[in-house]
Amino acid sequence: MAYAATCIALLAVPVLAQYPEGSLYSPPISSGYGNWSAAYAKAHAFVCNLTITEKVNLTTQTGTGASYGYSLGIIPRVGFRGLALDDSPTGVRSTDYSSAFTAPLNMAMTWDRDLIYAQAYANGAEHKAKGVNIAYSPVVGPLGRSPESGRIWEGYSPDPYLSGVSFGLTVAGMNAAGTIAVGKHFVLYEQEHFRQVREWNDWHLPNATFNTTEPYSSNADDRTLHELYLWPWYDAVHDGMASVMCSYNQLNNTQACQNNHLLNDILKGEMGFQGFIVSDDGSQHSGVLSALAGMDMTILGETSPNGELGLGISFWGPNLTQSVLNGSVPEWRLDDMATRIMAAYYYLDQDQNFPELNFAQGDLSTFGYLYPRAMAGYQQINEHVDVRDHHADIIRRVGANSIIMLKNINNTLPLNKPKQIAIIGEDAGPSIYGPNGCPDRGCDNGTLAMGWGSGSTNFPYLIDPLAAIQTQAIQDRSVVQYVLDDYDTALIDSVVAQATVCLVFINCDSGEGYIEIDGNYGDRKNLTAWLRGDDLVNEVAGNCSNTVVIAHTPGPIIMEPWIEHPNVTAVLMAGLPGQESGNALVDVLYGAVNPSGKTPWTIGKRREDYGTDVMYVANAPVPQLNFTEGLFIDYRHFDQAGIEPRFEFGFGLSFTTFSYSNLRIQPASAASSTSASASTAAASAQITVNPSVCPRYALNASAYTFPSTISSLTDYIYPYLPRNSSFTVGPAYPSASVVAVAPGTPGGAPELWDTMYTVTVSVANTGSVAGQEVAQLYLALGNGEPVRQLRGFNKTMIEAGASTDVSFTVRQRDLSIWDVPGQSWVDVRTLGTAVGVSVGASSRDLRLNGTMAAIGGGGSAAGNYSASVTAATTSPIGPVVTEYSDGQPQVPTEYSDGQVQVPATATS
Ligand code: BGC
């Protein structure tokens, strides 16, 4: 298709606008594939019975702070009470009697599929029990291009495979509990700096005046986009993700939430996403355009592009009603928006006994105004429902099993009834302000167990390390001395001099860009420990020959100032462990849990070694973040550049040791034949569907103006046109008869998920205690790919002296690279490439090596497509909107006030 070819060529070059002149808007209609079909049937029936304003009500939130009730979709005529929405990946945000889970980072640090799923399920169950239909979690954007990126702890790992598994399992777990998991932020949202104009122009950073005019643009080529940043999204779509949040940033200079290629072609087309796309708070920058480009729901509801408050004014709401009536947005697009939202609702069985919303996000009072801006509806707004169940156990298990032991000499750990323990550092104890002392955890006082921003939640309690260690010490009859003031060196010196073991606690923090701590504007400004952490460790180690360092961090830190100090005998990284922090740490410190966490990122020796960084000073009014490193972030970069890390990706010690032997690489039946793959291409031929378009409603203004029976509330967004509106009904779009959809099940071409090989190794526990090993599979795909890439992991408990077989499943996608000209995934074996196979204990501790044979006749990625797994293609035959080269649609257009202008001649 000529359009695709031109578009691809441009995508391969960073910085250029994404669309060539003349490209098309191509919103596909989903008819509900696979296990979505029943949900779609119900959604169609529901939506076709709604009026235009009722459908608009499903798409547009009622406005920030205008209501503590249901956020959208309140349709009394059909008895639909509406939908409630809330954050976050660490728990139900800004309420009480709910859990403070570990950061998702810790889930990834466990490399344990069962624990990831268990915590996700628990988080989903708490949202449901509070009455939250739609939970803004999990996060895989940022992926972790830069280790300083403020929100990386809300996600998992810069490795797309580890992130993909974790992301998919989190979606599956939350969904299974009954809450709609919202995967966010789509996509290339890799730093906080310059994500919104007002936020960053208001910061007035020292020595910098920004004056940006638009959010930053992440400019990435198509192959990098697919193989790195989109990879985990395939997992989540495959695992049933029912909602996606589009991000603040631009992608190749088009806003993510109005990016037709990204939302319509890739997410809804190529990946076969069946659910709905929701904006972030203020990431919607247009009305008609975002609707045509594939956005289905606006949170906040208010305009607020770039962070300006648009109290009560919406791009959608009444403007969407008007846009449909005047022909700017086809009614079938509105139907598809509403259908996708309701399909997600039915997909998660939310029509079956879903609890009532029973709290007011951000207000813990029992009584208050349901409509605070209007000071109306005084009533009970919080029932204080305790939804925590047995989840503390899960949080403690994730916490303990995520701890990464980086160093342990002289068998320092586990501790065995030490005679005298010195505990040093503010990070060991409670904050004098309490665990919830700062809004959205926007400070670093006392022990750090959570990052800051919308990914935070309230602690119901926080077990700090000091409290937990003292509890253990009482049983052991140990003496415990402590100094929580990092700066009282004299006291520290005297206390540690008496100790058998010195536990020194350090941390650093990061979070979302609307909060700044000590010059860290969301993104960290450096990779070192905070509060003189490096000096503190050296201070303690200088006076204590048995110093154990414990670090609470949102990502990697530089450890060079102290890691080789001979008195630093053990080092534990504990991530951000949530409410059970101290208990989880004690489990590992004293050996009740043998450490089994592995690094989900590389720990470099110098910040520069990562090769990527946050852009701290805007390089243009529309900051241009060029992903020139392509596929080479984190260990992919260290390997390619030949840089020695301090601790490589996938590293972590245990109290025992493991040996590896007997590598077996077994092709799955019929897996390695080219014909099996070739048939895939045929299966991906375009599919033409005839969606059942709902009957069109009367197009007269009076049916959609503000009803006389309702009096309007301050700042509350309604779907109605103003009373006495008069307008001309615009030209009708043709009904959508031909629509692009992905071939087959969600997650792209089904063959991507076919098993090609099973790789098996024997792992033996050669030490004297039982322990869990995370065996890791890496593949070398040639063709300009990274030296090695994680393509499997398996965490297994092995008794001392025992041996077990550990297997990895290698799917078609694991062997494939993204072929840009062909717009398809290509199995590198068909390009004449033999795939290198390595299995080991980390990315640089590879114990066994083998090969998967080439099966093709050779050629470059651009040459041989006979065995390609073709992704979905799209066929925009319905309404098409031509775009000017500046990225604006020719028809229809919008005035700057968000009102829609219908031009004299419509195109179709
Ligand atoms: C964040 C989202 C969050 C939303 C609602 C935004 O600032 O980027 O992750 O879900 O706020 O709180």
pLDDT in tens, 199-226: 888 776 666 677 899 999 999 999 999 9
Question: Looking at residue 644, what DSSP letter applies?
Answer: P
Query: Which residue's CA is the closest to the ligand 1 atom numbered 12?
Result: 454
Closest atom of ligand 1 to CA, residue 455:
9
- Of the residues 239, 265, 280, 523, only one is catalytic, namely 280
Closest atom of ligand 1 to CA, residue 247:
8
d(C-alpha 583, C-alpha 589), whole Å: 10
Within the chain, what is the greatest distance between any pair of CA atoms? Answer: 86
Residue 505, strand partner residues = 550
| 453 CA from centroid of ligand 1 (Å) | 8
pLDDT at 867 (0 to 100): 34
Q: What is the crossing angle of helices 391-402 and 113-129, to 10°?
A: 150
For residue 411, what are the CA distances in angstroms to 173, 356, 588, 655? 38, 53, 13, 8
Closest atom of ligand 1 to CA, residue 248:
8
Q: Residue 68 CB: number of other CB atoms within 10 A?
A: 22
Assess contact for 441 and 450: CB atoms under 8 A. yes
| 108 CA from centroid of ligand 1 (Å) | 21
Q: Is the peptide bond before 430 cis (omega within 30 degrees of 0)?
A: no
d(C-alpha 560, C-alpha 580), whole Å: 29
What's the CA angle centered on 98, arms 96 and 101, to 5 degrees? 130
| 355 CA from centroid of ligand 1 (Å) | 24
d(C-alpha 278, C-alpha 246), whole Å: 6
Query: Which residue's CA is the closest to the ligand 1 atom numbered 6?
Result: 281
Assess contact for 295 and 277: CB atoms under 8 A. yes
| 458 CA from centroid of ligand 1 (Å) | 16
Query: Which residue's CA is the closest to the ligand 1 atom numbered 9?
Result: 454
| 281 CA from centroid of ligand 1 (Å) | 6
| Pairing state between β 276-279 and 243-246 | parallel
Helix (H, G, I), strand (E, B) or coil at 765: strand
pLDDT at 865 (0 to 100): 28
- 280 included as an active-site residue: yes
Backbone angles phi, psi at 894, to 5 degrees: -125, 140
Assess contact for 343 and 43: CB atoms under 8 A. yes
Backbone angles phi, psi at 331, to 5 degrees: -65, -30
Helix (H, G, I), strand (E, B) or coil at 407: strand
d(C-alpha 49, C-alpha 32), whole Å: 19
Mutate to test the pocket of ligand 1, among 184, 190, 248, 281 (most ligand atoms within 8 A of CB): 281
Residue 762, strand partner residues = 661, 805
pLDDT at 162 (0 to 100): 98
Assess contact for 37 and 744: CB atoms under 8 A. no
Closest atom of ligand 1 to CA, residue 184:
9
d(C-alpha 467, C-alpha 549), whole Å: 17
Mutate to test the pocket of ligand 1, among 136, 137, 189 (most ligand atoms within 8 A of CB): 136
Closest atom of ligand 1 to CA, residue 182:
10
Query: Which residue's CA is the closest to the ligand 1 atom numbered 10?
Result: 136
Residues of the chain by 3-state class (helix, strand, coil), percent to 5: 25, 20, 55
* Joined tokens for residue 614: 């946050």
For residue 74, what are the CA distances in angstroms to 211, 260, 277, 720? 40, 29, 19, 13
d(C-alpha 767, C-alpha 908), whole Å: 71
Mutate to test the pocket of ligand 1, among 280, 283, 523 (most ligand atoms within 8 A of CB): 280
Sign of the Cα torsion 327, 331, 337, 342 reads positive
pLDDT at 269 (0 to 100): 87
* Joined tokens for residue 233: 């999204």
Closest atom of ligand 1 to CA, residue 88:
10
The letter for the amino acid at 624 is Q
pLDDT less than 50: residues of the chain = 1-23, 672-691, 736-743, 858-908
Nearest to 598 by CA among 527, 657, 655, 649: 649
pLDDT at 874 (0 to 100): 34
Pocket around ligand 1 at a 6 A CB cut-off: 87, 136, 184, 280-281, 454
* Residues whose CB is less than 8 angstroms from the CB of residue 137 and which lie 6 or more positions away in sequence, other chains included: 87, 88, 89, 104, 123, 170, 174, 181, 182, 184
| Pairing state between β 276-279 and 624-626 | unpaired
Q: Residue 80 CB: number of other CB atoms within 10 A?
A: 19
pLDDT at 29 (0 to 100): 79
Sign of the Cα torsion 369, 370, 375, 376 reads negative
Query: Which residue's CA is the closest to the ligand 1 atom numbered 11?
Result: 281
3-state secondary structure 24-42: CCCCCCCCCCHHHHHHHHH
| 234 CA from centroid of ligand 1 (Å) | 22
Q: Residue 65 CB: number of other CB atoms within 10 A?
A: 18
Strands (E), 92-179: 134-136
| 454 CA from centroid of ligand 1 (Å) | 5
Backbone angles phi, psi at 680, to 5 degrees: -60, -40
| 444 CA from centroid of ligand 1 (Å) | 21
Give the containing element (helix H, strand E) for 201. Answer: helix 197-201
pLDDT at 3 (0 to 100): 30
d(C-alpha 135, C-alpha 124), whole Å: 8
Backbone angles phi, psi at 718, to 5 degrees: -110, 160
Nearest to 793 by CA among 84, 100, 112, 7: 112
| 655 CA from centroid of ligand 1 (Å) | 40
